């Protein structure tokens, strides 16, 4: 049964979609069956996987609001690494339309449930806002991975997200937990980045992933080629970092697997 993780941060430009695509790729290379769900109306994860978001017969919009089976909308990422539930700007209308649905917080969870036996990991790329789409993602998930750029305002936005996670846990999904905080776009030479990193570890301790994603031009270039950085340049520092993140995540879940056996 799949472990479902939302990749969320209401602050844009922190490497959220980059992390979603590259972690999906890294987990697939580690032998895991992976589905990436693009829940962002911008559809950047879809494009980053080499899928044309303007040429979709079915997307997350039809799955959420027109009761189309999720399996019908699935596409394969570039390099045939993992499956993708794609998105485009049609999803913008979902915010308003979901408000009139009596099960509005659970639409995604209900749609993904038939797919859970087919995968080891479901990763959900959330929009950069604490919206109804993000709430749907959190209700459908066991964990939340928070990419956080190590900069001055990083900790400010984190409070709102943690409050939302807590409210969702109390009202809809008691199994939801903070999977971990991932430091992204990290510059080791920057003293401010080092200070923010220190504060994160001081406040969140082991919830901060040991893996750090560095600023890396190959990571930035890969989406324009419709590829993960592991396909684009597997020897780059960014690719190595995302493989390390996948390994760390898998190690964290090992005790759960042993307990289930």
pLDDT value of position 255: 59
Helix (H) or strand (E) holding 157: helix 154-171
CATH topology of domain 3-260: Rossmann fold (3.40.50)
How many Cβ atoms sit within 10 Å of the Cβ of residue 32? 18
User: H-helix or E-strand containing 186?
Assistant: strand 177-186
Q: State how far the Cα of 113 lies from the Cα of 117, in Å rounded to an integer.
A: 8
* Residue predicted with more confidence, 212 or 151: 212
Q: In the predicted model, is pLDDT for residue 261 greater than 60?
A: no
Structure tokens at 8: 């969320």
Give the dihedral sign, CA 44/169/257/204: positive
The tens digit of pLDDT for each residue in 48-96 reads: 999 999 999 999 999 999 999 999 999 999 888 999 999 999 999 888 8
Q: Is the dihedral of CA 224, 230, 234, 235 positive or negative?
A: positive
In the predicted model, is pLDDT for residue 260 greater than 70? no
pLDDT in tens, 165-221: 999 999 999 999 999 999 998 877 778 788 888 888 998 999 999 999 998 999 999
Q: What is the pLDDT of residue 191?
A: 81
Question: Which phi and psi angles does 142 have, rounded to 5°?
Answer: -95, -30
Confidence (pLDDT) at 258: 39
**Worst-scoring range by mean pLDDT, 47-51, 100-104, 118-122, 185-189?**
185-189
Of 7-16, 125-134, 182-191, 195-204, which gets the smallest average pLDDT?
182-191
- Residue 259: predicted pLDDT: 37
């Amino acid at each position: 049964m799949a472990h479902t993780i939302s990749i969320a941060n209401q602050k844009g430009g922190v490497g959220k979609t980059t992390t979603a695509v590259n972690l999906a790729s890294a987990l697939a290379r580690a032998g895991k069956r992976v589905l990436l769900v693009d829940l962002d109306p911008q559809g950047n994860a879809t494009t980053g996987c080499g899928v044309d978001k303007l040429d979709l017969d079915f997307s997350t919009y039809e799955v959420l609001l027109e009761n189309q089976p999720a399996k019908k909308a699935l596409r394969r990422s570039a390099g045939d690494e993992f499956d993708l539930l794609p998105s485009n700007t049609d999803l913008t209308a979902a915010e308003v339309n979901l408000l009139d649905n009596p099960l509005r917080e659970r639409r995604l969870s209900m749609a993904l449930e038939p797919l859970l036996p087919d995968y080891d990991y479901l990763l959900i790329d959330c929009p950069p806002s604490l919206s109804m789409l993000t709430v749907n993602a959190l209700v459908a998930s066991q964990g939340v991975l928070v990419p956080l750029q190590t900069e001055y305002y990083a900790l400010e936005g984190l409070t709102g997200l943690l409050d939302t996670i807590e409210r969702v846990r109390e009202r809809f999904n008691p199994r939801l937990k903070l999977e971990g905080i991932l430091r992204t776009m990290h510059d080791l030479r920057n003293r401010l980045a080092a200070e923010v990193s220190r504060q994160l570890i001081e406040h969140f301790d082991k919830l901060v992933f040991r893996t750090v994603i560095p600023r890396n031009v190959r990571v930035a270039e890969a989406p324009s080629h419709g590829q993960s950085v592991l396909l684009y340049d597997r020897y780059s520092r960014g690719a190595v970092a995302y493989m390390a993140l996948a390994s760390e995540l898998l190690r964290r879940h090992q005790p759960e697997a042993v307990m289930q056996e």
